[in-house]
A and B are shown apart, each in its own frame.
Chain A
Amino acid sequence: DQQVKQNSPSLSVQEGRISILNCDYTNSMFDYFLWYKKYPAEGPTFLISISSIKDKNEDGRFTVFLNKSAKHLSLHIVPSQPGDSAVYFCAASARGRDDKIIFGKGTRLHILP
């Protein structure tokens, strides 16, 4: 049973435009969400996180939006750059219960020139 779902395996976006990566979750106990970025043959690197007490968190070109009622979060990248081409993993945990972090399957983002 997949608790964190990234339904789009891949996404192509023109350089300079906005990239929107989506993530849905089923466990209402999740209260902390993270996005990781991964290049081929490398380990994931932490990108941005959001606690359930917020609905938006911004860091430079990256913004994460959380819609608790819909159990949905999204990562916006504006403007998209060639170096953003990577696999993006959504992850979630129930920090108050010390539960493990659950990762989605990832979305491969291609930035087109």
Chain B
Amino acid sequence: DGGITQSPKYLFRKEGQNVTLSCEQNLNHDAMYWYRQDPGQGLRLIYYSQIVNDFQKGDIAEGYSVSREKKESFPLTVTSAQKNPTAFYLCASSMKVWRETQYFGPGTRLLVL
């Protein structure tokens, strides 16, 4: 049963704390992406990765970091430098970067306490 999983579904962060959102895919896709969605907004690209051990900044990368040590995994860390982290975070993957339809995970809602 192939797909993309994100965990946790809800995450609470205290001020000044770093948190890591998990994204795993078993679709054998090369490319993975992280988006942020705010109410009434489209999906804004945070980071993307075309291949293992490589990743590129998107439109709103400040305050975020990623790693791509394995093809299946693309975790996103929301650092304390991110001033407004409360949002719905979506991970996606595609066979190749930008040339294929992206498949999305169920999302993680991050709330700041």
Residues of A bordering B, CB below 8 Å: 4, 9, 34, 36, 41-46, 49, 89, 93, 95, 98-101, 103-106
B98 near A100 (CB under 8 angstroms)? yes
Q: Known: A43-B92, A95-B99, A101-B98. Is A106-B42 also a contact (CB below 8 A)? A: yes
B58 near A100 (CB under 8 angstroms)? yes
| Residues in chain B near residue A99, CB distance under 8 A | 98
| B60-68, B77-85, B101-109: which lies at the interface | B101-109
B11, CB-defined interface residue at 8 Å: no
Q: Known: A9-B40, A104-B42, A106-B42. Is A42-B107 also a contact (CB below 8 A)? A: yes
Q: List 26 A-B contacts (CB under 8 A).
A: A9-B40, A41-B88, A41-B106, A41-B107, A42-B106, A42-B107, A43-B4, A43-B91, A43-B105, A44-B90, A45-B104, A46-B102, A46-B103, A49-B101, A95-B98, A98-B97, A98-B98, A99-B98, A100-B48, A100-B58, A100-B98, A101-B98, A101-B102, A105-B40, A105-B41, A106-B42
| Residues in chain B near residue A41, CB distance under 8 A | 88, 106-107, 109
| Residues in chain A near residue B35, CB distance under 8 A | 103
B101 near A98 (CB under 8 angstroms)? no
- Cα-based distance from A99 to B43 in the complex (angstroms): 16
Give the residue of B58, B98, B106 whose beta carbon is less than 8 angstroms from that of A43: B106
Q: Known: A42-B106, A100-B48. Is A34-B101 also a contact (CB below 8 A)? A: yes
| Residues in chain B near residue A103, CB distance under 8 A | 35, 42-44
Interface of A is mostly: loop
Counting chain B CB atoms within 10 Å of each CB, which of A4, A43, A105 scores highest?
A43
- Cα-based distance from A89 to B44 in the complex (angstroms): 12
Return B18 CB to nearest CB of chain A, in Å: 24
A46 near B98 (CB under 8 angstroms)? no
- Cα-based distance from A88 to B98 in the complex (angstroms): 20
- Cα-based distance from A9 to B91 in the complex (angstroms): 24
B45, CB-defined interface residue at 8 Å: yes
Return B33 CB to nearest CB of chain A, in Å: 9
Counting chain B CB atoms within 10 Å of each CB, which of A4, A9, A41, A101 scores highest?
A101
